[in-house]
Amino acid sequence: LRVALDAFGSDGAPHPEIEGAVLAIKEDLCREVILVGDEKVLSAELSKYFYDPARISIVHASQRIEMGDSAAASVRTKRDSSMMRTIALHKEGQADVAVSAGNTGAMMSASLITLGRMKNVLRPAIAGVFPTQSGHQVILDIGANVDCNAQHLMQFAVMGSKYYEFFFKAPQPKVSLLNVGEESAKGNAVSKEAYHLMAESKDINFAGNIEGKDVLSGITDVIVCDGFVGNVMLKTIEGVGFSIFEILKEQINKDWIAKLGAMLSYPVYSYIKKKLDHTEYGGALLVGLNGISVVSHGRSNAKAIKNAIRIAARIAESGFVENTRDYFERL
């Protein structure tokens, strides 16, 4: 399995990308990684690592899409960017997946233009895998579509269900609609209509509405929402986790007994930090495309890049794309 990796995506690029690629090969997560970006910089950096040269190669790209760039404009004007070249390698069949820690909006636009939507898919979406108290959960859309209608949400439900099914090899995952209450009559106009579509669908195992308080509890497998709510919710989770740890640190430093206690409890804190740490998961899949595009957090470190490669490889081998394409083609 060959992975095309945008080596100039993350905030700290290209170091996390290069180290992540070396780690991925070391752990045999894929057969080959193609690093895409400024050849001079990449070969100089790569030469510092010990690796199998048959398994890591470099493809040159002269431009870079920045986090602040407009997604639509940058994919038109930066045709020789590392991100566009990365996706092109996948499109041309020289790589089986495309991975980037760059601008998510640009990655979606670039993937849409280059790979195209699956037939009958109205809107591709971004699907993330997140830890729960007891396992994992797929949440989509986490940011691609800020204005959705009920039909879009219904399609997200099918794509999220198939993602969970193939990725975790678990048939008939429970699919829930994120809403303001559990009863079917709750919600805004779009969520009320989506509820009915999902309840009537034979293609998903619909478990009804879910509220914000149950998002990380693990009572469902797939959570469907529009990209506006999904984005606000996930960033809120990130912020709350951070705030709790900040207050914890501040209070602990005020009191030496509490400090001693915290030292003794250290394994517990590091367990929770690991649970909340995006680098442990670090890869969201763009679903509904004719191909496999995985985006990683802009603040990715080498471990996050390695994990994004792991996710991309696992999806490629899972049959998710083929099955989903067949489903939508038959609609």
3-state helix, strand, coil split of the chain in percent (to 5) is 50, 15, 35
Q: How far is the CB of 213 from a copy of itself (least distance, A)?
A: 4
d(CA 324, CA 103): 26
Peptide bond into 80 cis (omega under 30): no
Does 255 bind a copy of itself (CB under 8 A)? Our answer is yes
Does 128 bind a copy of itself (CB under 8 A)? Our answer is no
Rg, Å, the chain Cα set: 20
Does 76 bind a copy of itself (CB under 8 A)? Our answer is no
d(CA 104, CA 108): 6
Site for a copy of itself in 192-211 (CB under 8 A): 211
Nearer to a copy of itself, 116 or 218 (CB): 218
Does 232 bind a copy of itself (CB under 8 A)? Our answer is yes
Nearer to a copy of itself, 31 or 249 (CB): 249
Q: Which tokens hold the place of 244?
A: 């709790």
Q: Which tokens hold the place of 201?
A: 């669908």
The torsion region of residue 288 among left (phi > 0), alpha (psi -120 to 50) and beta comes to: left
Site string for a copy of itself, 130-169 (x = CB under 8 A): ---x---------x--xx----------------------
Kindly give, in sequence order, each residue whose CB lies less than 8 Å from that of residue 138, ignoring residues fewer than 6 positions away: 127, 128, 129, 130, 160, 163, 164, 167, 173, 221, 222, 223
Q: How far is the CB of 149 from a copy of itself (least distance, A)?
A: 12
Does 261 bind a copy of itself (CB under 8 A)? Our answer is yes
Q: Which residues bind a copy of itself (CB under 8 A)?
A: 70, 133, 143, 146-147, 178-180, 185, 187-189, 191, 211-217, 225, 227-229, 231-244, 246-248, 251-252, 255, 257-258, 260-268, 271-272, 275-276
